[in-house]
Amino acid sequence: MTYLELYNALNYVDHSRTKRRDMSNLVVSQPSNIATLMKVAFQVDDPVSCKACWILEFTAKEHLAYLLPSMDTFVRNIGSVHLDPAVRPIAKICEILMKSYFQSKDHTTRNALNEEHLENITSACFDWLIGDHKVAAQAYSMTSLLLLGRKFNWIHPELRMILEQNYQNGSAAYKARARLTLAKLK
């Protein structure tokens, strides 16, 4: 599928699970489509990039292994994503990756992610956590950083400090996730 074909197909995707699944299946039917999908996703000022991020998230949930060969591109660009409908799925993909790496200890994921990848994900997650982003992206970032703290011992003290500082001004959802995260940090 060419860039233009994929871009045009994304125009017909909405937030419905059925359309996201259908587009994800189309993309994974030819693994080279993942690289093209990432090109669209990281056109960060284009609203269609948000739809590409939705498909990347759906693909990560169902077929994470298809994204792993493109990790260099993914981690190199995640920090530039700024539209709220794109930040949430990118943060969710980071959480999926960290759960696979640290909790499931999936061999394929562990081989695909190197230390530089983990550092870039750490940086992006801290940016989403302290930046003006919606709670979902912040919650996914809390989970990712909690897991990343197993590898980088400086993360947990920083995470604790940020959560304690922002707790008072956080929404109910933020406070709930922050309480869970802080409990695990003790």
Residue extents of the structural domains in the chain: 3-185
Mean pLDDT of the chain: 96
Percent of the chain scored above 90 by pLDDT? 97
Backbone angles phi, psi at 162, to 5 degrees: -65, -45
User: Tokens 């990343």 label which residue?
Assistant: 148
Question: How confident is the model over 4-15, as pLDDT tens digits?
Answer: 999 999 999 998
| Amino acid occupying residue 154 | W
Q: Which CATH superfamily is domain 3-185 in?
A: Leucine-rich Repeat Variant (1.25.10.10)
Do 141 and 129 meet the contact criterion of CB atoms below 8 Å apart?
yes
What's the rounded Cα separation, in Å, for the pair 127 and 158? Answer: 12
Apex 95 CA angle, 123 and 69, nearest 5 = 85
Q: State pTM to two decimals.
A: 0.96
Query: Please, what sign has the CA dihedral across residues 179, 15, 93, 89?
Result: negative
CA–chain centroid gap for 49, Å, is 14
SS3 for 21-79 is HHHHHHHHCCCHHHHHHHHHHCCCCCCHHHHHHHHHHHHHHHHHHHHHHHHHHHHHHHH
Residue 73: predicted pLDDT: 97
Confidence bin at 2 (pLDDT 50/70/90): very high
Element (H, E) at 117: helix 115-130
Task: From residue 149, give the alpha-carbon distance in Å to each of 40, 98, 102, 105, 160.
Answer: 31, 11, 10, 15, 11
Q: Is the pLDDT of residue 96 over 90?
A: yes
Check if the beta carbon of residue 37 is closer than 8 Å to that of residue 13: no
CA distance 39 to 167: 36
Tell me the average pLDDT across 115-135: 97
Q: How is residue 8 written in tokens?
A: 């045009």
